[in-house]
Amino acid sequence: MTRRVDLALHLVTDDRLNADALLSIVDAAVDGGVTVVQLRDKRVTAAELIRRARMLSDVIAGRVPLLIDDRVDVALAAIDAGARVDGVHLGQHDIPPTTARRVLGPDAVIGWTANTAAHLQAAHAMPDGTLDYLGVGVIRPTITKADHPPALGIEGFAERAAATPLACVAIGGVGPDDVAALRRAGAAGVAVVSAISGAADPAAAAGAFAVAARGRGSGTADGAVR
């Protein structure tokens, strides 16, 4: 089954925000042009993540997909509680994407962090239809992920993107002025945290990214693009 998702602009939520600020910023950012929201918070309990997923689902109201970072269990529990959760983004130390696909089903959106050549090889070894996109980075050093791998830069990202038929989303220290170059380098989209969440006007910040992201076609992925 084909899964269509506009990968152009991901907002990865900032775990430094309280729940009220989180909802306000996400609502504004979606209005501004964010095309995917990813709930990421490694500091709260599973119960709190489920609560936030349910609240975000209400705020987003189906305008864009809502993904849960790392936690397939939280995604399932939020869905069971009535939230609209569209999938997950998984890291190298999380549940295998093949397991997540079996558990979440054919319609879920599943992304996977893949920063090295070995990660790309592992992604290519997965059955067709497992992955919808790869998160590739970091582009530049960023304070929002203290344990990030060495920065790739735009040229390094281009090498990774050229080495895989899977859609690649650039993440890590990305600003609006980087988007055009990243799209030319093969990015299906970009993912940002503080550049939107920390902005005085999140809707305007999202709008600046969205305009840049639309400068070279759509970032739509049709299922597992392999």
The pLDDT of residue 132 is 97
Cβ contacts of 4 within 8 Å, gap of 6 or more: 220, 221, 222, 223
The pLDDT of residue 225 is 34
The pLDDT of residue 149 is 74
The Cβ of residue 46 has, within 10 Å, a number of other Cβ atoms equal to 11
Tell me: is residue 59 an annotated ligand-binding position. no
Residues in the chain where the model's pLDDT stays below 70: 1-3, 143-148, 215-226
Tell me: is residue 142 an annotated ligand-binding position. yes
Question: In terms of residue numbers, what domain contains 44?
Answer: 4-222
Candidates 209, 213, 202; CA nearest to 23 is 202
For 4, which DSSP code?
Answer: E
Q: Please, what sign has the CA dihedral across residues 74, 79, 81, 83?
A: positive
Candidates 64, 37, 36; CA nearest to 52 is 37
| Locus of tokens 């050229």 | 162
CATH classification of the domain holding 11: 3.20.20.70
Number of domains in the chain: 1
Tell me: is residue 143 an annotated ligand-binding position. yes
Instruction: Please state, in angstroms and rounded to a whole number, the distance separating the CA atoms of residues 102 and 181.
Output: 36
Tell me: is residue 194 an annotated ligand-binding position. yes
Instruction: Please state, in angstroms and rounded to a whole number, the distance separating the CA atoms of residues 159 and 157.
Output: 5
The pLDDT of residue 4 is 80
Tell me: is residue 74 an annotated ligand-binding position. no
Tell me: is residue 144 an annotated ligand-binding position. yes
Tell me: is residue 94 an annotated ligand-binding position. yes
Tell me: is residue 42 an annotated ligand-binding position. yes
The pLDDT of residue 217 is 43
Contact at 8 Å (CB) between 95 and 53? no
Q: Please, what sign has the CA dihedral across residues 27, 208, 193, 214?
A: positive
The pLDDT of residue 143 is 65
Contact at 8 Å (CB) between 31 and 75? no
The pLDDT of residue 91 is 96
